[in-house]
Amino acid sequence: MTEAQDPPVQRTAIVTGSGRGIGAAIAARLAADGHRVGVIDLREEDTAETVEAINNSGGKAVGVGADVADAGAVEAAVARIADELGAPTILVNNAGILRDNLLFKMSDSDWDAVMGVHLRGAFLMSRAVQAHQVQEKWGRIVNLSSTSALGNRGQANYAAAKAGLQGFTKTLAIELGRYNVTVNAIAPGFIETDMTRATAERVGVPFDDFVKHAVAEIPVGRAGTPADIAAAASFFIREEASFVSGQVLYVAGGPRA
């Protein structure tokens, strides 16, 4: 006869950029795993669909509008989620934007905007949430990197930011480990989202052709989905993953060199 297992502990998670796409899928998965979810996107109205889907499925979510590159907005968002859902001890830094261009065409604002959302945003959110994690002596941070961290034409800003997130991840893992906080990163490959659709439009390729070309290079023979990334995030956040920290998991349908 097997011993009955204790039910999973319900915690409060924050997922940035979770109004749609990968972020929405992660928020839904964490809610299904039993956690309360703070859904953050640039405008509160952008969070409505994700929040409604979670609440209608029996979960608990609140939506907050915040620019993750704005320190004051981040502090206010985290404080509101703590007040409404409880101390946030899970953070998924997913918010991201694209400002693709070749280096000689890339503007200062193209560079600064991408660095602001991806790197400054992850820094500000992590700094705000780690105060709760340290107090609770438990925490999980998952940062969304990308296979573009290995280099990608027309994405000097995005690639640099995503590579920076990997170094950020490993450093936080060292600093926060003593408080029972793990920090890991996921580097998605080609995932079918609104963002990849926008990339296809930018390069002037029909989206179906864009996907077909990408899939031809993927060993498992299909494009990724937001649910694939959500599953990886769910793993990192589990109690059973407490000895996994400072890692970068490439979720790309095969090795990427």
Measure the CA angle with vertex 154, ends 150 and 158; round to 5°.
Answer: 55
Q: Whole-angstrom Cα distance, residue 48 to residue 56?
A: 12
The first and second tokens of residue 206, run together, are 């029909």
Separation CA 76–CA 128 (nearest Å): 10
Active site residue 158: yes
By residue count, the chain amounts to 257
Shortest CA distance to 62 belongs to which of 127, 14, 10, 121? 14
Q: Which of 111, 123, 158, 210 is catalytic?
A: 158
Q: How far apart are CA 93 and CA 122, in angstroms?
A: 6
3-state secondary structure 197-236: HHHHHHHCCCHHHHHHHHHCCCCCCCCECHHHHHHHHHHH
User: Catalytic site residues?
Assistant: 158
